[in-house]
Structure 1
């Protein structure tokens, strides 16, 4: 078999294995990595490196594996945009954790988030206690968004802008 085709197929297999692994083992806190999570990611990357490039340790082999991963991710994002079933399989739905100061303990357990982790996130958003939270949502990317009441019970939230790609079509 052509060594570059071999690298391409191996890289695709590893990419889709990792997507499935994240789906099965959860990704609810990917944006809030602790030391154990970082170690796990480093070990996984080291473990799958040889699975992607095999005996080919050349620069071209490594660059091809990286290119295949970028293209696979790009293709998956396009498929997710066009096909809701694929999007639903890969990404979870947002989960409401707090609504009008009331903590949804069932949603907390289902999302495998402890009460202490939720309280810490609420404080990180500048809110003293969960009673002052109008809405806290576990987003699909693992972040927890918090919208709070101010002292007059008016809604207060912080807006985060996402970069958008405004390329012109030629």
Structure 2
């Protein structure tokens, strides 16, 4: 067998082995790595390169070495699920860098962190002043997690006492001009609904690169032709406008009637409608 073909076959086998091992070890191997995972990844990569190009070495010896480097972290991952102490020994544990707004200098020295590196990590989190931080911990992955002081935390509807609608995952009902039936069913919608919504905005599914439906039955689309302007979804604003029109109609009916019983009924209905609008308005404006 020619050398180039031998290298090609060895490389292909190494890729298959590495892909299989990575899939088995899980997504942690391709995210933020711990010390042990970092060391394992380097070793397996070196071995894969070795068995791909070293034609004088026995191929199966390299495969055995890779399998040993695979089985050890796989076994450790299983054991660390059962033992917190072993998990801390293998993966380490977080180090508090800032507590109650004060920098823990001893912990910085322990992690060989300089003040400049700490400030850099804070800036990566869009924090430019240590005085704004209540608590910060250096995770085992090397990422810095921070908790801002209460007065520096972003304002949310909860802080203002505003009730907002619960959010659910939008479903991609059109991808590359093709209708996705499973996401449609997950959203509780049908092809007939989708065709109706597409007709409202004047496009066909073939012209849609990506279409998403939210839990309120609103369809948003991104077209292949970015020059075409697509109307914004108007389901919720239209519903709010309809409710306000009903309130105004009830007020008008109350003013136009001369019968006391009818006037009282219209005024009572108007107050009930106003209360419905008050509760629904925060949800329909999101």
Q: TM-score, normalised on structure 1?
A: 0.53
Q: Is residue 132 from structure 1 mapped to residue 132 from structure 2 by the alignment?
A: yes
Instruction: Map 1:20-169 to 2 at 5 A.
Output: 45=43, 57-149=57-149, 152-154=151-153
Are the equivalent residues in 2 in contact too, given 1:99–1:134 (CA < 8 A)? yes
Q: Distance in 1 between matches of 2:86 and 2:143?
A: 21
RMSD: 3.5
Shift of the 68–45 alpha-carbon distance from structure 1 to 2, 3 Å rule, reads closer
Distance 2:96 2:115 in 1: 14
Larger RCO (CA within 8 A; separation ≥ 6): 1
Give the match for residue 250 of structure 2. none
SS at match of 2:128: coil
Deviations 1:13-35 (A, max 9, x none): xxxxxxxxxxxxxxxxx86xxxx
TM-score under structure 2 normalisation?
0.33
Secondary structure of the 2:142 match is: coil
Q: Distance in 2 between matches of 1:109 and 1:126?
A: 24
TM-aligned CA deviation for residue 81 of structure 1: 1.6
Q: In 1, distance between residues paired with 2:120 and 2:69?
A: 35
CA gap of 1:60–1:115, structure 2 versus 1, over 3 A, is same
Structure 1 SS opposite 2:152:
coil
Question: Deviations along 1:144-163, whole A, 9 cap, x unmatched?
Answer: 2123347x43368xxxxxxx
How many angstroms does 1:140 deviate by? 1.9
Residues 149, 155 of structure 1: 8 Å contact kept: no
User: CA shift at 1:76, angstroms?
Assistant: 0.6
Shift of 1:45: 4.7
Shift of 1:126: 0.6
Give the secondary structure class of the aligned counterpart of 2:134.
Answer: strand
Preserved CA contact (<8 Å) 2:43 2:69 = no
| CA 45–73 in structure 1, closer or farther in 2 if over 3 Å, else same | closer
Offset at residue 137 of structure 1 (A): 0.5
Larger-Rg structure: 2
Structure (1/2) with the larger helix percentage? 2
Residues 87 and 113 (structure 1), Cα distance of their counterparts in 2 relative to 1, 3 Å cut? same
Q: Say whether the 8 Å CA contact 1:147–1:155 is kept in structure 2.
A: no
Structure 2, unaligned stretches of length 5 or more? 1-31, 34-38, 156-286
